[in-house]
Structure 1
Amino acid sequence: MARKSKHKVATTMLQPQARYDAAGNGRRMRGWMAPSTGPNRAVAGIQNIRNRSRDVTRNDWSGESSIQKWTTNLIGIGIVPRFKRIQNKQRKQELTDLWQQFVAQSDADGILNFYGQQTLAVRAWLESGEVFVRRRPRRPDMELAVPLQIQLIEAEFVPMLDADSWPGLLPGNRIRSGIELSVSGRRLAYWMYKSHPGDGAMGATIDASMLIRVPADQVKHVFEPKRPGQLRGISAMASVLARLRNIGDYDDAVLERQKLSNLFVGFISRSLPEGLDPDVDPLTGRPIEGTISSPLAGLQPGMMQELDPGENINWSNPPEAGTTYSDYMRTQHMGTAAASGIPYEIFSGDIKEVSDRTLRVLINEFRRLAEQRQWQIVIPMLCQPVIEWWAEAAVLAGKISSNEILDVIRVEHAPHGWQHIHPVQDPQGKKLEVDAGFRSRSSVIGERGDDPDHVDDERQWDMQREQALGLHASQLTAQTAKKPDDKKEQK
């Protein structure tokens, strides 16, 4: 009996244990063969993704809408630095003026100002998956406010090159995806084409003479890593490109179907008596010349056409227009919007059957994601490095002293503020928070994208101007109070 009991215990322990269904290979998961590629091998075919993403942006409204809405909400009119650590008011204004001069002269291509470059950089990052920002020191004789300009470089300039030995590569270093890495994995340089490979006649083979080595401290790589250790960025449209392609094909098919449904084609059939020659016209007795399928007359509304004996007309039966087209397209674009991280109502402009309370919840959630991208990608990868480059160039030009450079580069970045969802309730709620001591008045002003110091200065100027013109509120109250007395004196 004892042996039998031990056998039962052993049998029980060998039974299959509970596990995740997603880890099995049963009937439901048999055809799901997901690869176990690393973060950098997974980007194989990255150029096809870039090309298709740009094509969708150029030729599909949904692709353009996704990129446009994200760019607008992340940048707005620009992410502006504030020199909060500079206590001297006059010196702070001098630095602000120096920065504004740089903003107007920052573009190495001479087209945009720096805030326009912010917009273009974000658009290139979202569309292509990444963008490179290169520091361009300039000579003092170029008449710039500071001897520095910024160049935006598309992803194709850095090829997907892997090499352990390369002309000009330091011993022990290696190149992965066009990025030179040290033994410890630190980025040391970027190997770039001298010109855009898509604008010239370049072969598929990469030659050492085509590339130049740019030190990493002269370049900032703007991208959103999805996995630890990922070296290059993937377009934000990658997860929806196949869906958008299928939606476009379906849309084209429905369009052709609609065209066919509006075509009314008539076919004239003739029946000839037996014994007649089909090559001879029975009415004239002459040989038939040309085709007998030519139309009798052009069709006009209300026209009655008399046919010859033995002729009748059969009308075609074209397909009807799809009755579920709008519902299907709406459902598909809702999935596209969700994958893009944008509320469908903002993505498409379709606010049918959406209340203002529901829309407030959707917008607030979208803004949380936008702020995450602002403070984790755009500001640390683009805005702050440019501030540091600008400050260093200003020190070389003698515009900033070496003693104050640390206070200058520790700026407060102010993204463009969000508009109120409700123009009355939102300000009232913020006023209640300030009055209750839950937050500061400066934080409310800063949330709108304005500088609290500048707002206070403007308020002071307005009060002084009103007093000088006799428009101050206290003076108006005093004048109003004197009016009854003036009437009594007149009586």
Structure 2
Amino acid sequence: MRRALGHLRRQIGALVGGFDAGQGGRRLRHFQPSRAHLNTLVAAAGADITARARWLSRNNGYAVNAVESWAGNVVGAGIKPSSLIADADLKAQVQRLWLDWTDAADAEGLTDFYGLQRRAAREVFIAGEVFFRFRPRRPEDGLSVPLQLQMIPSEMLPLTRNDPLPGGGAIRQGIEFDAIGRRVAYHFLRRHPGDVTDPGLAGETVRIPASEIVHVVDPVDAGQLRGVSRFAPAVAKLFLLDQYDDAELDRKKVAAMHALFITTPAPAEAFDAAESDEDGARVLDLQPGSVTMLAPGEEIQTSSPADVGQTYEPFQYRTLLQVSAALGVPYAYLTNDMVRANYSNSRLALLEFRRRVEAYQHAVMVYQLCRPVWARWMDSAVMAGALKMPGYARRRGEYLACSWLPPKWDWVDPLKDARAEIEQIEAGLKSRAQALSERGYDAEQVDAEIAADRARERRLGLAFGAVGQTAASPDAPSATTED
């Protein structure tokens, strides 16, 4: 019955026409994609995709370069907060306390909060997702704010955990939902399934409330629960290209081992200059400038190994372009090949790449990681008495208001860009505050530093360029700052 209905639909489609993509003719007869939801596909193949992506990120040079380039552009030295609290003194206190805390943010003690951001960007690129657990600490631990973050890899949340729960809830791919679809908890494994050095019980899970977990993921489908590696569309090409390169390298290596071949009409009679190797094969060890006498009838032929051919480099280039498009990383960033790049096409590629990065910074890194951590950090700081904020429970939204400043972009020709930005500010098309925020700086902090520098220069009688001359002039007004 189902086959008959499918045949009927194809007949109707052939009569109606319209979309070639929906036809069942000769060209698309064998194009039968799965209609399963992405969650089903991830449950079936997600573990293999992640394992292959991790293997490539450890063993393939292009994959390593892509991961590091992505993390460096998304996070750089860190996506940093600038509090929007109106009280300047309280804002300065919040910023100082945050800066002190960032050094102790990592529960493993391997990096600071901005290093955790970079690790998160790498993990989401490789595995499609990563988790952070809030770990409250005791006052005797000596932290400026009693809070740390524990990073949990995606393999720790089993894709195979799917169970119905009383009351209409369910556990889907390790995530517990209530009856109306809200995330309630995560059921993590106590030990990594691939870590044999951990003596914990394999397969044992622990339930952690969703309020204690930050799930960083870049979803591509509506209703998607778990992440998919960005390597998914590039795994096959990267792996096969790697094998092809290895085969070419081995072929050239074997060919280079054979410099000369000697033919003789009497193979049973060994020539005097020949020796036998470990396998019993006759070899002739030549020295620079040596002259070897051969027996009558023996001839020497040089080895002429086949070259890789003129199509090798164009083939590599086109294949790597496809890999670059699949990963969303410019070709030059993927390969470090600057031969084909010039200023114009490099800038065009960077503009497109940076738009993608900015969208990712806002939608994933800031919204999913930075904001929840900032809110939990401030709650912990107020509860621990590290911050005094009157009416915090009532004015919590006001106190939490914050701008997150990504690292500034460096251009190929910074002088031209700086001049263009100055002209935009002078023409009123952009404010200094906006220009500074785009460079990853807080305008109020920069202005305060400039005012302090000028005051110190006047006090010491120093003069540096036009700014210094104005500051050192006895008739110059007191230092002020403008936007």
Deviations 1:159-210 (A, max 9, x none): 0134334xxx5542111111111222211110001121211399xx985xx0
Query: Following superposition of structure 1 onto structure 2, how do residues 458-477 of structure 1 map, counting pairs within 5 Å?
Result: 458-470=449-461, 471=463, 472-474=468-470
The residue type paired with residue 53 of structure 2 is S
The residue type paired with residue 117 of structure 2 is Q
Q: Which moved more, 1:399-408 or 1:331-340?
A: 399-408
Cα distance between partner residues in 1 of 2:159 and 2:360 = 26
Partner in structure 1 of residue 192 of structure 2 = 196
Structure 1 position 313, deviation (Å): 4.3
The residue type paired with residue 62 of structure 1 is Y
Unaligned runs of 5+ in 2: 1-11, 476-483
Alpha-carbon contact 1:395-1:402 (below 8 Å) kept: no
Structure 1 residues 225 and 469: alpha-carbon distance in aligned structure 2, compared to 1, 3 A threshold: same
Structure 1 position 297, deviation (Å): 4.4
Alpha-carbon contact 1:260-1:318 (below 8 Å) kept: no
The residue type paired with residue 230 of structure 2 is A
Secondary structure of 1:141's counterpart equals: helix
Total equivalences in the alignment: 447
Structure 1 position 125, deviation (Å): 1.2
Secondary structure of 2:185's counterpart equals: strand
Alignment equivalent of 1:437, drawn from 420, 428, 452: 428
Question: What fraction of aligned residue pairs are identical, expressed as a percent?
Answer: 33
Alpha-carbon contact 2:81-2:404 (below 8 Å) kept: yes
Deviations 1:8-49 (A, max 9, x none): xxxxx9992232111111111111111111120121221111
Cα distance between partner residues in 1 of 2:168 and 2:152 = 28
Cα distance between partner residues in 1 of 2:104 and 2:278 = 73
The residue type paired with residue 195 of structure 2 is D
- Which TM-score applies when normalising by structure 2? 0.86
Query: Following superposition of structure 1 onto structure 2, how do residues 129-278 of structure 1 map, counting pairs within 5 Å?
Result: 129-165=128-164, 170-200=166-196, 210-262=204-256, 263-271=258-266
Partner in structure 1 of residue 323 of structure 2 = 336
Please give the root-mean-square deviation of Cα atoms over the aligned residues, in Å: 2.8
Alpha-carbon contact 2:65-2:333 (below 8 Å) kept: no
Partner in structure 2 of residue 73 of structure 1 = 73
Alpha-carbon contact 1:76-1:416 (below 8 Å) kept: yes
Alpha-carbon contact 1:161-1:178 (below 8 Å) kept: yes
Alpha-carbon contact 2:234-2:326 (below 8 Å) kept: yes
Partner in structure 2 of residue 110 of structure 1 = 109
Alpha-carbon contact 2:457-2:472 (below 8 Å) kept: no
Q: Which moved more, 1:383-392 or 1:248-257?
A: 248-257
The residue type paired with residue 185 of structure 1 is G
Structure 1 residues 368 and 292: alpha-carbon distance in aligned structure 2, compared to 1, 3 A threshold: closer
Structure 1 residues 174 and 206: alpha-carbon distance in aligned structure 2, compared to 1, 3 A threshold: farther
Cα distance between partner residues in 2 of 1:282 and 1:339 = 59
Structure 1 residues 292 and 218: alpha-carbon distance in aligned structure 2, compared to 1, 3 A threshold: closer
Deviations 1:464-483 (A, max 9, x none): 1222233341477789xxxx
Secondary structure of 2:15's counterpart equals: coil
Cα distance between partner residues in 1 of 2:251 and 2:14 = 58
The residue type paired with residue 402 of structure 2 is V
- 1:365 equivalenced with 2:352 (yes/no): yes
- Which TM-score applies when normalising by structure 1? 0.84
Cα distance between partner residues in 2 of 1:242 and 1:189 = 35
Alpha-carbon contact 1:257-1:321 (below 8 Å) kept: no
Cα distance between partner residues in 2 of 1:241 and 1:362 = 23
Partner in structure 1 of residue 380 of structure 2 = 393
Structure 1 residues 266 and 175: alpha-carbon distance in aligned structure 2, compared to 1, 3 A threshold: same
Structure 1 position 383, deviation (Å): 0.5
Cα distance between partner residues in 1 of 2:278 and 2:454 = 92
Deviations 1:61-113 (A, max 9, x none): 110111111100010101111112x2222221111111112101111112211
Unaligned runs of 5+ in 1: 1-12, 273-277, 284-288, 480-491
The residue type paired with residue 306 of structure 2 is P
Cα distance between partner residues in 2 of 1:475 and 1:69 = 42
Partner in structure 1 of residue 28 of structure 2 = 29
